[in-house]
Amino acid sequence: MPLKRYEEQGLLFNSNFTEAAGPGLSAYRGDLVLTEGEVADASGRRKPPTASVRQAVLLGSADKLVFAAGLLDDVAKLPLFIERYSADFAADMHAVFFVNNIGKPLRLSLPGVKACLLPLEDGMVWNELLEELRLEKGDLKGQSAGEKVATVCSALKDYKPRGEEVSLETALASTIEVKHGGRGPV
């Protein structure tokens, strides 16, 4: 299973859970390493990753990755995801990425995956994903965390992504500057 292998390789970071999501399926929520941090000591422990998919939501079958979602602070990190994980993509894999530095929804057809990119300045990927797919809390009631990820994945079959279809080069060229406001007490 790809998720088990990622866990063994230390590619799952800040994990919320990894668990069964139905027959032959496993689900993961947490962060996914794109670029590992440098080796920190003689025992081989690493510093935090230099690039990651934050708040990642993954669904894997016995040998393939069938669904991926998460938050990218820069659309330029999408090629890192493809380069690192494309060997594990199922033929009909879906990917939904919320991206900080795009101004409008975009659709991409990339090698091995159809990706939907949605702008997101601030928010939680899981909540935004449920809203985008028009899933209510009642649709997930009584399910385990892994089963909820499988339900989200199956909802993608009826999902019509917004935005025009563009090439990766066009998406990389159409970024916007993001300014994060101050947070916390004044």
Structure letter (DSSP) for residue 99: E
CB atoms within 10 A of CB 66: 21
Where does the pLDDT of residue 149 fall: very low under 50, low under 70, confident under 90, or very high at 90 and above? very high
pLDDT higher than 90, residue 182: no
Q: 111-129, pLDDT tens digit by residue?
A: 767 889 999 988 899 999 9
Report the pLDDT value the prediction gives residue 52, as an integer from 0 to 100. Answer: 94
Specify the residue for token string 């159809």.
114
**159 close to 151: Cβ distance less than 8 angstroms:** no
In the chain, what are the domain boundaries?
2-36+45-173
| Reported confidence tier of residue 30, pLDDT bands at 50, 70, 90 | very high
The structure tokens 């090629």 sit at: 79
